[in-house]
Amino acid sequence: MTDAVSLIRAKRDGQRLADDDIRWLFEAYARHEVADEQMSALLMAIYFRGLDRAELRTWTAAMIASGDRLDLSSVGRPTVDKHSTGGVGDKVSLILAPLVAACGAAVPQLSGRGLGHTGGTLDKLESIPGFRSALTPDETLAVLASAGCVICAAGSGLAPADRRLYALRDVTGTVESIPLIASSIMSKKIAEGTSALVLDVKVGSGAFMTSYERARELAETMVALGEEHGVRTRALLTRMDVPLGRAVGNAVEVEESVQALQGHGPGDLMEVTLALARQMLALAGLAGDTAGDPAAAIADGRALAAYRAMVRAQGGDPDAPLPEAAYIQVLPAPASGWLTGLDALKVGIAAWRLGAGRARKEDDVSASAGIICLAKPGEVVRAGQPLLELRADEPERFGPALAALEGAIAVSDQGPPPALSPVISEVGPA
């Protein structure tokens, strides 16, 4: 007879868990026959001992089976989604979902909220007056059918085991385990019912994965999981040493996203967005279609129209003024020369301290707080010129934010830094 203590001991001692034992574990955990303390001990054993590919496949399947799966068969278009591992200024989803929808696919994007220095897609969209991110499955399908894309919260019925496990990982120091990260992300994405998925795995100081090797391992693990569960999956590794685009926050990122959909997006942001769009359209079988050119969909206004349709379908007013911060403070360039560094992590923490992020899931966020990067690495700056524009609802937030920016800026008189593409590499099925 299987019991939790035996499974903890087995994994602690480096043994693999049998498929039937993993399935029993999740069923018993759902019935509260396995205590949180026991599941926490097993998570720690997995943190140190890992899960092999077969174990991880079954573990992920059991997480999916713990809840419902969306049925997208009625949508009438090829379905494809995207997931980012999170970064600073990463508003790609706001541009990408309507862009790919404008090219003929359906994009059912279940997104999350920000925590710590990384922003959350739902927090950004909820800065639009009236926008609703909490949709029922029927509402999700209705928005998808009418607008071609939807960006909403994952319902409580999708992979509910992940919600409980994530809470345990957060308080037990086991968040960084690649098998646990991969199963958490992929169980929700597979349960949402999409046929194809492109992953944006961030690498750098402002990313969850700071090393290329760990990021590539995570990408390969998630791609394999997707393929094993019948979801066509690819990944791009993209840089997150510098904030993406120029806006960091909630309303300010919405504003920059609309500018991008109008054809005025910053180069690094558009390079990542268009690369992901091309991958998504290829997986959806639309890359050779005359309508499947993402750059053309921005140029002719189709992408912006899809965005506006999605916002309206989710209760928002795309023409309403966005919230504006009551206070602004500028951080000047410390010297003249080439701007060679703008640390994404420090900028993200500063935006969080201004009110744009949260320390705990239950915290409120400010829609208007954030940072505008008035210059980016590779540009020439003069000593004293405005470099960062800090925005907040309360002036007392500027002190802690400025403290977070200590050492964030590097200026050199030795010439420009090498121009690096934000897209590092692609990971496909093994």
Residue 124 amino acid letter: K
What crossing angle do the helices spanning 302-313 and 92-102 adopt, rounded to 10°? Answer: 110
> Is residue 93 annotated as part of the catalytic site, yes or no?
no
- List the one residue out of 381, 384, 87, 83 whose CA is nearest residue 245: 87
> Is residue 376 annotated as part of the catalytic site, yes or no?
no
The single residue of 11, 91, 117, 169 carrying the catalytic annotation is 169
What is the phi/psi pair of residue 155, to 5°?
-70, 160
> Is residue 169 annotated as part of the catalytic site, yes or no?
yes
What is the phi/psi pair of residue 222, to 5°?
-70, -40
Residue 292 amino acid letter: G
User: In the chain, what is the greatest distance between 2 CA atoms, to the nearest angstrom?
Assistant: 72
Q: What is the dihedral of CA 122, 124, 127, 130, to 10 degrees?
A: -40
d(CA 82, CA 353): 28
d(CA 244, CA 344): 9
- List the one residue out of 330, 418, 322 whose CA is nearest residue 375: 330
Residue 98 amino acid letter: P
The single residue of 93, 184, 187, 257 carrying the catalytic annotation is 184
> Is residue 133 annotated as part of the catalytic site, yes or no?
no
- Report the half-sphere exposure of 162 (CA within 13 A, side-chain side): 28
The single residue of 11, 82, 91, 188 carrying the catalytic annotation is 188
Q: What is the dihedral of CA 415, 419, 422, 426, to 10 degrees?
A: -140
> Is residue 188 annotated as part of the catalytic site, yes or no?
yes
The single residue of 21, 90, 162, 343 carrying the catalytic annotation is 162
Residues belonging to the active site = 83, 162, 169, 184, 188
